[in-house]
Amino acid sequence: MTTEDTINIRTATDDDWDAVALLDAHAFGEHQNSEDLAETQILTSSEHVVMAWDGSTPVGVAMHFPMSVTVPGGEQVDASGVSWVSVAPTHRRRGILRRMFTEQHRKLDAAGAPLSLLTASEATIYRRFGYGPATEEHAIVLDRRFAQFHKSVPPVTGVRLIESTEASTLLPEIYHRWQCKTAGAQPKPPIRWQRFFADRENRRHGLTELFFIAHADGYVAYRRSPTESKVVVQEFIAVTDQAYAEMWQVLAGIDLVDTIEVSQAPDEALPFLLTNNRLPKITGLHDALWCRIMDVKAALEARTYGVDAQFVLEVEDPFLDAGGTFDVTISAGAATVTRTEAAPDAKVGLDVLSSMYFGTHRATRFAAASRLWTRDPEALHTVDIAFATDRASVMGWAF
């Protein structure tokens, strides 16, 4: 008997949560307290948890949170947020993740959500399963002591300092307006708001309690460091450019600290609000949301496009066979997608198509990297401008 033969993959029961917590603690180096675990159980249910057992020993887990996400154009599309994926270090690289993912994605496929999402601990794991990075963020450090705003930037008229209690009544509605217009953003479930405002010590990572500033169209939640002269932004949500510009001026006005640390989409306006566009230092670039298109037709028809176009797209999906050859006809921004026998204008792996889907990553870039084939440069241009979006997509909340 091979080692693999002793492994049993099955759906979890309500009695398995201690085993799930044990696996998670060893995988991510953090013991879940009872509040954290209870919150996760509200976001999902045992039937959405796949586990691997070696006899009576738990050796692997993968779960998903049912959610939705805004796609380019504003439609809310059902999605499965895959999370808490781990295999015990006693059993790694024996194919257990692959077996759990096969079972989990068979169930996700049957449930019918057109998109599956995750955030990846390592960039090398998930492409083979059809996932590609869909949003990215710059880590930025702004030395606020030298920040001068351009004279055309509107002055601060509508930002207030608020307490946590008021924040808990204002922020969810502002977030909702932002989420509806932001591709890549998911609705934030009530239990996540509860966790956010509970602001438990184990979530502060050595920083202070949360501080809040609010505008009618935006808010910032931040912490201060007790040991370093810095503000660390936890959430910066701006529904309008005006709110964005005003809140940055208020952050830059926090005297007695040197720097502001923030993570934001690469196309945000901050450098050009300032007279010195070099002042915000980009200290990192990381992917945030990863996407796997589960249903090519449903997903492509759910988003809008920048141009009218017609092309034949061959999609390869070695993991689940969700690919095929599709005619994509775009009229007035909407796509009609049908299976076809016609010769393709473009060939692409599902992971790459999933990366292009939210608009942040362009077809031209993947073509340059030999990850996208097109019949000729004209076909590349057509596919490129069809999938491009005006603004970078942004993940709403990490899961």
Ligand X SMILES: CC(=O)SCCNC(=O)CCNC(=O)[C@H](O)C(C)(C)COP(=O)(O)OP(=O)(O)OC[C@H]1O[C@@H](n2cnc3c(N)ncnc32)[C@H](O)[C@@H]1OP(=O)(O)O
Binding part of the chain for ligand X, among 83-91, 152-160, 187-195, 260-268 by CB under 6 A, reads 83-91
Q: Looking at 236, 326, 387, 399, which residue is catalytic? A: 399
- Site for ligand X contains 29 (CB under 6 A): no
Residue among 86 and 374 whose Cβ is closer to ligand X: 86
* Of the candidate residues 44, 80, 86, 360, the single one contacting ligand X (CB under 6 A): 86
Catalytic annotation present for 222: no
Q: How far is the CB of 398 from ligand X (least distance, A)?
A: 11
* Of the candidate residues 2, 34, 56, 124, the single one contacting ligand X (CB under 6 A): 124
Q: Looking at 65, 101, 126, 212, which residue is catalytic? A: 126
- Of 8, 2, 3, which is closest to residue 57 (Cα–Cα)? 8
Binding part of the chain for ligand X, among 116-124, 136-144, 158-166, 293-301 by CB under 6 A, reads 116-124
- Site for ligand X contains 108 (CB under 6 A): no
- Site for ligand X contains 277 (CB under 6 A): no
- Site for ligand X contains 118 (CB under 6 A): yes
Residue among 116 and 393 whose Cβ is closer to ligand X: 116
- Site for ligand X contains 186 (CB under 6 A): no
Q: How far is the CB of 304 from ligand X (least distance, A)?
A: 28
* Of the candidate residues 94, 215, 223, 297, the single one contacting ligand X (CB under 6 A): 94
* Of the candidate residues 19, 22, 27, 269, the single one contacting ligand X (CB under 6 A): 27
Catalytic annotation present for 126: yes
Contact residues toward ligand X (CB under 6 A) are 27, 82-87, 92-98, 118, 120-122, 124-125, 128
Q: List, as residue ranges, the binding site for acetyl-CoA.
A: 85-87, 93-98, 121-122
Query: What positions carry a catalytic annotation?
Result: 126, 399
